[in-house]
Amino acid sequence: MNIPTTIKAGFVQFDVKSGDISSNLQSVENGIRQLCDKGAQVAVLPELWPCGFDNAKIADHAEKTPEIIHTLRELAIKNHMLIAGSMPSEFDGQIYNVLVVIDKDGAIAGEYRKIHLFSANGEDIVFSAGDRAVVCKTSIGPVGLMTCYDLRFPELCRVLALSGARLIIVSAQWPESRINHWDVLLCARAIENQLFIVAANRVGRDDPLAFNGHSQIISPAGEILVKIDGQAGEGIANLNFNDIDKSRKQFNCLKERVPGAYKR
């Protein structure tokens, strides 16, 4: 597989309607169409984009996930686009918050079960936790996966970088009340690991929480290539993976680590 040096990556930011799969899927289809018209090869969607945190019915929603994935595979093939977003999925009788990556040929390139569940809103009661970091092989190269609260755990992103990820996809529902943390943590993860980040958040309201987006794409140097705030919409940016090599040639944070000195 020939890995491209440059790509156009994008995200779809919208108001995730709790429990309304039909409405949310329509928002995704519209957003992907807009990104395709602009030449995007990647579309990142918010966390639990089909149904939101409709916790009382999450098992019912998980039953519909295979059908939704089938639809995404068709969209990926039709638009020649890698599509990624999290959704509830059942494995061995347990429900997980799973970030699914579908490549442009419709193949499932990777599935990441969210490791860090946000106990402050009871996510750990509704979902089972994953236990494995995931870097998936895709048509655009190795891609690392993170979901929302994972951003607060730098160890995870570092492992993804050390495992060869050049791009980190983040799917999230990060509330407005802590959006300054979202902005800072995304930038920090990109800078300290010297890689690209494409992060999709939602807008709208799911009482008692409000969401104001700030979906963004960040370079290895911490430059915000595109960002949109409180409105629904799409963002797209050019990524040149040579920028990673340039950044690490100037000073290589990964190579110059001293793991033996970090022991407790």
- 99-149 pLDDT, tens digit per residue, is 999 999 999 999 999 999 999 889 999 999 999 999 999 999 999 999 999
Query: Residue 121: what pLDDT?
Result: 87
The whole-number pLDDT of residue 264 equals 87
Q: Tell me, what's the pLDDT at 139?
A: 97
Tokens standing for residue 120: 């402050």
- The CATH number that applies at residue 143 is 3.60.110.10
41 found inside a domain? yes
Mean pLDDT over 85-103 rounds to 97
Is 115 a domain residue?
Answer: yes
pLDDT at 110: 98
Q: Which of 51, 148, 157, 234 is catalytic?
A: 148
**Mean pLDDT of the 26-54 span:** 98
pLDDT digit string, tens, across residues 146-198: 999 999 999 999 999 999 999 999 999 999 999 999 999 999 999 999 999 99
63 is catalytic: no
pLDDT at 116: 98
Residue 173 lies in a domain: yes
Please indicate whether residue 249 is annotated as part of the active site. no
Q: Is the pLDDT of residue 1 over 80?
A: no
Within 13 Å of residue 74, how many CA atoms lie on the same side as its CB? 9
114 is an active site residue: yes
Number of separate domains in the chain? 1
Does 73 map to a domain?
A: yes
Residue 141 is assigned to a structural domain of this protein: yes
Residue 161 lies in a domain: yes
Within a domain: 240: yes
> 3-state SS string over the chain?
CCCCCEEEEEEEECECCCCCHHHHHHHHHHHHHHHHHCCCCEEECCCCCCCCCCHHHHHHHHHHHHHHHHHHHHHHHHHCCEEEEEEEEEECCEEEEEEEEECCCCCEEEEEECCCCCHHHCHHHHCECCCCCCEEEECCEEEEEEEHHHHHCHHHHHHHHHCCCCEEEEECCCCHHHHHHHHHHHHHHHHHHCCEEEEECCEEEECCEEEECCEEEECCCCCEEEEECCCCEEEEEEEECHHHHHHHHHCCCCCCCCHHHHCC
Residue 1 lies in a domain: no
Domain hosting residue 219, numbered range: 6-262
